Amino acid sequence: MVDISGKQTTVRQAAARASVLLNEESIRLIKEGRMPKGDVQAAARIAGIMAAKKTPELIPLCHPLALSQAGVDIWLDEEKNSVEIESSVKTTGRTGVEMEALMAASVAALTVYDMCKAVDKGAVIQDVMLTRKSGGKSGVFKRATKK
């Protein structure tokens, strides 16, 4: 692991996103709360938050962090037939929380996939990315949005 002992303790925040493309039937079943495995959005939200907390157990060189906030927002985009996911993570520490945010979005997307795979064998996880980060010496990063 990188030695972070000389770094400033600052508020560190990061957000990430992911999309899961599904067929129309899957979107309808999620919206109606009738997916066979249960409430897709609630399960994915909790899975994403749990994943943020477990990041250093799964990514070998990540520092264990005391997270002060981890959240996952999930919504349906019926025009794109997708489940949209955005995670946000915050801590006060010596290293950033980008990996925790990416882990939360990724695991939430994997959970959506798992809960929908019986209905939609062609589901696709895409566009997993860091959308913003702040804190520390490198300052603020904000991904430019597509027009």
Active site residues: 114
Q: Residue 95 gets which letter from DSSP?
A: S
Q: How many CA atoms lie within 13 A of 38 on its CB side?
A: 5
91 token code pair: 């801590």
- Distances in Å between the Cα of 137 and the Cα atoms of 65, 66, 94, 104, 134 are 18, 20, 10, 24, 9
Residue 12, phi-psi category: left (phi > 0), alpha (psi -120 to 50), beta (remainder) = beta
Residue type (1 letter), 90: K
What is the spatial order of strands in the sheet that 124-134 belongs to? 67-77, 82-93, 10-21, 124-134, 141-142
